[in-house]
Amino acid sequence: DYVDFEQLDEEEKKNLLAVGDMVAFTNDYGVVFGPKEVLAFRKPWNGGRCVYIDSDAYWFPDRPEQLTILSKGGTEWQTKTKS
């Protein structure tokens, strides 16, 4: 699903993933890796995978629900909720 950015309030905008954000990745077994940088996005495929992060498998996108925002594009490290 696509989001109309203009219709979101400021708090909702803060919780959206963007290129340059630092995130923690949680795999399907609950193991957390990071911090990792968000590199790019693609159209969702293969179970909703659409976010590329700076990892050993940078070529394989992750699902947004596997990512927790730690900081927005170079801001101070802080914990944010999952999108």
pLDDT of 9 reads 76
What is the CB neighbour count within 10 angstroms for residue 17?
Answer: 19
Sign of CA dihedral 7, 82, 19, 53: negative
Q: What is the value of pTM for the model shown? A: 0.75
The string of pLDDT tens digits covering residues 9-57 is: 777 777 788 899 999 999 999 999 999 999 999 988 999 899 999 999 9
pLDDT of 77 reads 45
